[in-house]
Structure 1
Amino acid sequence: MDDDSREARWERRTGGPLTLASLLFLAAYAVRVLADPSLPGAARVACYGTMLAAWAAFAVDYAVRWRFSGQRLSFVRTHLFDAVILVLPLLRPLRFVKAYERVKRRHGQPRLALYGRVIAYAGTSAVLLGFAGALAVYQQERGAPGATMRTFGDAVWWTCSTLSTVGYGDVAPVTPVGRLIAVALMACGLALLGAVTGSFSSWLLQVFSREDEERPPWR
């Protein structure tokens, strides 16, 4: 049975608009980074306005959910993902999986398996973090003295090798902010890889255990 609390009703009503806001935030940020410095002044203001409006929408959502929860500081501790989304609105599409499961339950259909949820979250996180990380590091590195990341394609290549924990070393950030972004992406890559590997290993163990239980005893 679905939760009918005020917080749950608010989340159901605002889930779609906030997901759209996160996509608009990412699009505006991408235009701001990739089109600069040829971006006209009015377009630059529009990009900043879109990003600020998206951030404001998530701040209002966080404040309303905090108010409805009736909690104080414990709300921050039990809603860490919402706090992360407040800082990085582009991660809002990760809630697609949760919304999908809610629709499934409402129609009496089975939810995604645990392994499916892990893969869905990890895959979506990798794509969103990779694209956003490439944009952020490219913004810092382009034009920097001694930079090896001269194009956005270089930034994408570096982000893929960093998130996958391969790290070829042919392209690397040289600015302090770029290196901070690199550390964050390394940590995210290790976490995502560990989640997927652990989930896959657990699934294999479950499959092998089921086969052993169904296998007839030797005579």
Structure 2
Amino acid sequence: MHVRNGADRQLGWERRTELPLLVASVLFLFCYAVRVLNQGSDPFWRDLAMAVALLIWLLFAVDYGVRLVLSDQGLRFVRTHWLDTVVLVLPLLRPLRMVNTYETLQRRRDRPRLSLYARVMAYAGITSVLLSFAAALAVYQQERDAPGATIVTFGDSVWWACSAITTVGYGDVTPVTPLGRVFAVFLMACGLALLGAVTGSFSSWLIQVFAREDKERPPGSAGSPGV
């Protein structure tokens, strides 16, 4: 189905919905946390959190469907927007879309408020925190009642997530369930990618600073080339 001015309408849709969807993403994570951590005798809050989380996921699905139609790409949209597809199937990975949110918001300004290196490090830091928290919840849900589990409290799970995403891996607490280990592998892979992004950006920033200082140093001064 062809949509007239689909690209412009898609861009307008993304601009209008990006912030509300970001708030919905945080609310989804909060509802999931209530569902996992609230183990009291009264199931009302857990059921309410589950209902709200399903409604938010439905909102994500509607947004995905609207953008698919407006893109006028058909099934090719699934391939070109693979991250959106993965996030729709696994909503806990919504923090990975933060870079898309940032780019959409920056289109509203003439120039970014932060430099490229600061943006990369800020994005990597916030994404690391949100992914670690989501992974800690998911692993705790799988591990807490498993036979021979070493992750028996949410504190254990948070400690494991911090050591996994920083690639330290103390090994004092580890997942024992198959799904828990899948989450572990994914978190470690994300940790390597984010650590590489931060390290590379910091190194590039240092090189840029030193190169600028060399250019600004007067000829013949101490430490300049040829002296």
- TM-score calculated relative to the size of structure 2: 0.85
Deviations 1:51-110 (A, max 9, x none): 11111111110111111111134323332332233232542772553354234x1xx454
Structure 1 residue identity aligned to 2:172: D
Bigger Rg over Cα = 2
8 Å CA contact 1:149–1:171 kept in 2: the answer is yes
Distance (Å, rounded) in 2 between the aligned partners of 1:39 and 1:198: 49
Match of 1:118 among 110, 117, 120: 120
Partner of 1:139: 141
Structure 2 residue identity aligned to 1:141: E
> Over aligned residues, Cα RMSD in angstroms?
2.0
Once the two structures are superposed, the pairs formed by residues 59-98 of structure 1 within 5 Å of their partners are 59-86=61-88, 87-88=90-91, 90-91=94-95, 94=98, 95=100, 97-98=102-103
Partner of 1:5: 8
SS of the residue corresponding to residue 173 of structure 2 reads: coil
- TM-score calculated relative to the size of structure 1: 0.88
Partner of 1:101: 106
Gaps of 5+ in 1: none
Distance (Å, rounded) in 2 between the aligned partners of 1:67 and 1:74: 11
Fraction of identical pairs, as percent: 59
Match of 1:50 among 49, 52, 59: 52
8 Å CA contact 1:33–1:135 kept in 2: the answer is yes
8 Å CA contact 1:22–1:92 kept in 2: the answer is no
Distance (Å, rounded) in 2 between the aligned partners of 1:21 and 1:215: 51
Partner of 1:40: 42
Distance (Å, rounded) in 2 between the aligned partners of 1:195 and 1:13: 29
Structure 1 residue identity aligned to 2:180: G
Partner of 2:223: none
Distance (Å, rounded) in 1 between the aligned partners of 2:79 and 2:119: 22
Shift in Å, 1:164:
0.4
